[in-house]
Amino acid sequence: MMTWLNALQDLHRRCTKAVLVTVAASQGSTPRAAGARMVLTDTQQFDTIGGGHLEWRAAHIARAMLAADPTSVPGLRKLEKIALGPTLGQCCGGVVQLVFERIEPDSDNGHWLARLQQHWQLGRDIWRAVPLETTAPGLLLADDGTTLDVLPALNAALLQHGSTQLLRDQSGQPWLLDRCRAYQPQVVLFGAGHVGTAIVQVLATLPCRIIWVDEREDLFPANLPAQVSVEATDVPNAVVDLADPGAYFLVMTHSHSLDTQLTERILRRADIGWFGLIGSRSKRQQFAHRLLARGITTEQLSRMTCPIGIPGIYGKEPASIAIAVVAQLLQLWELRATLAPPQLSTRLVTQVLDGRH
């Protein structure tokens, strides 16, 4: 599944116009919360805002916009309030407000898409401030250490709310303030074999950043999603030291000797989020014996998870292992979010979406 940002970048390269649909607000029971997005062209759809008749209605509106005059406000941006009741054939019963934005394959849009990808790859949240009922350019608001003073009304709203929302500034101008959460957390995966490839394919559909490491450069597929960075290197141990504090490590290389070296290097870091080593219980025992002989303590060894994957999934196929391992990571991330919810930064800097600021 191609995410909305990857889709827009690919469509930009192919000079194809599209409409970005964002759930700007929701009330009651709805399929997706504010911040969900999808991309539509004349013939294709990428990502999802919840499926069913809601997406059918959104697709109808978006494709009508693609056929309209792009220089007019209705042809460029549109806000629609949709009730998910019996008339729409959905039983949710809530209400969603959708913002539709026509995205042309020009240099202006290419600029803000590149800026957005850059921030996501660095693991930084970024906000899109899109003025509605006007063709004026939007803004990117990034956590970059400078206080936002260009639009004080938007700044005040950012301090009060942490998610995508609709608001009006002091002059009455309506805005979509869209928080594009960075791909978090960081996963460092060693091994580009069948299992490693299957895991990356699943992780690439989720909000995380991936560093994929192997010395065999020819194993990496082309056109990887924005959140996947490849390290084709003969010294994979060095990548361990470059990973972010709190990173999640997965080791599954083609060599037990390399697995041992990487395991020792990872366990000597005191700030890892989690470490998983592919293998059986007997492999864990063998590695424990070797690592204790190399000076790894029992406490350090306790941070190694082996075997990996949630209980109850025992298939040996790469896809089965990938599902079990990614489910384990999701459980860890859900727990982390519950224990330490992210705090909204109050230090922001503006950047005009089309680069003219």
Pair (137, 261) in one structural domain: no
Does the pLDDT value for residue 310 go beyond 60? Answer: yes
In this prediction, residues 97-109 reach a mean pLDDT of 90
- Two structure tokens written together for 187: 């996963």
Higher pLDDT, 85 or 89: 85
Q: Are 239 and 211 in contact (CB under 8 A)?
A: yes
Residues 217 and 290 in one domain: yes
74 pLDDT tier (thresholds 50, 70, 90): confident
Q: Is residue 53's pLDDT more than 50?
A: yes
**Does one domain contain both 207 and 306?**
yes
Banded pLDDT at 329 (limits 50, 70, 90): very high
Q: Quick one: three-class SS letters along the chain?
A: CCCHHHHHHHHHHCCCCEEEEEEEEEECCCCCCCCCEEEECCCCEEECCCCHHHHHHHHHHHHHHHCCCCCCHHHHEEEEEEECCHHHCCCCCCEEEEEEEEECCCHHHHHHHHHHHHHHHCCCCEEEEEECCCCCCCEEEECCCCCCCCCHHHHHHHHHCCCCEEEECCCCCEEEEEEECCCCCEEEEECCCHHHHHHHHHHCCCCCEEEEEECCHHHCCCCCCCCEEEEECCCCHHHHHHCCCCCEEEECCCCHHHHHHHHHHHHCCCCCCEEEECCCHHHHHHHHHHHHHCCCCHHHHCCEECCCCCCCCCCCCHHHHHHHHHHHHHHHHHHHHHHCCCCCCCCCEEEECCCCC
- Same domain as 216, residue 170: no
Give pLDDT, residue 143.
Answer: 52
Residues 218 and 176 in one domain: no
Kindly report which listed range (134-143, 244-253, 343-352) carries the lowest average pLDDT score.
343-352
Mean pLDDT across 59-77: 88
- Give per-residue pLDDT as tens, 253-300: 999 999 999 999 999 999 999 999 999 999 999 999 999 999 999 999
Q: Which among 73, 103, 133 is the end of a domain? A: 103
Answer yes or no: is 149 within a domain.
Answer: yes
* Interacting residues of 73 by C-beta distance below 8 A, sequence separation 6+: 133, 134, 135
Of the candidates 132, 100, 130, 127, the residue with the CA atom closest to the CA atom of residue 21: 100
Residue 209 has a pLDDT of: 85
Say yes or no: 70 and 123 in one domain.
Answer: no
69 vs 81, residue with greater confidence: 81
The answer to whether 52 and 32 have CB atoms below 8 angstroms apart is no
Confidence of residue 86 (pLDDT cuts 50, 70, 90): low
Domain-embedded: residue 43: yes
Of 103, 132, 165, the domain-final residue: 103
Compute the distance between CA of residue 258 and CA of residue 236 in angstroms, rounded to an integer.
Answer: 9
Q: Is residue 357 part of a domain?
A: no
Mean pLDDT of 230-249: 91
* Residue finishing a domain among 44, 78, 103: 103
Closest by CA to 38, choosing from 89, 83, 105, 103, is 103
Q: What is the pLDDT of residues 1-27, one digit of tens each?
A: 457 888 898 999 999 999 999 999 988
Q: Are 231 and 239 in contact (CB under 8 A)?
A: yes
Q: What is the mean pLDDT of residues 140-165?
A: 57
Does residue 284 lie in a domain region? yes
pLDDT band, residue 347 (cuts 50/70/90): very low
Res. 327: pLDDT tops 60:
yes
pLDDT at 174 over 60: yes
Phi/psi at 276 (nearest 5 deg)? Answer: -120, 135
pLDDT number for residue 80: 94
Calculate ∠ Cα 268-213-217, nearest 5°. 150
Distance in angstroms (rounded) separating the CA atoms of residues 54 and 50: 7
Query: Are residues 295 and 190 part of one domain?
Result: yes
163: containing domain: 109-182+344-352
In a domain, 138, yes or no: yes
Tell me if 291 is assigned to some domain.
yes
pTM over 0.75: no
Number of domains within the chain? 3
| In a shared domain, residues 160 and 190 | no
Tell me if 79 sits within 8 A of 174, measured CB to CB.
yes
176 and 316 share a domain?
A: no
| pLDDT at residue 125 is higher than 80 | no
* 149: pLDDT strictly greater than 60: no
Give the CATH number for residue 236: 3.40.50.720
- Together in a domain, 296 and 195: yes
Q: Are 260 and 251 in contact (CB under 8 A)?
A: no
Same domain, 95 and 127: no
Mean pLDDT estimate for the chain: 84
% the chain with pLDDT above 90: 49
Same domain assignment for residues 163 and 136: yes
**Distance set, CA 53 to CA 28, 64, 66, 352 (Å):** 17, 17, 20, 35
Residue with more model confidence, 259 or 85? 259
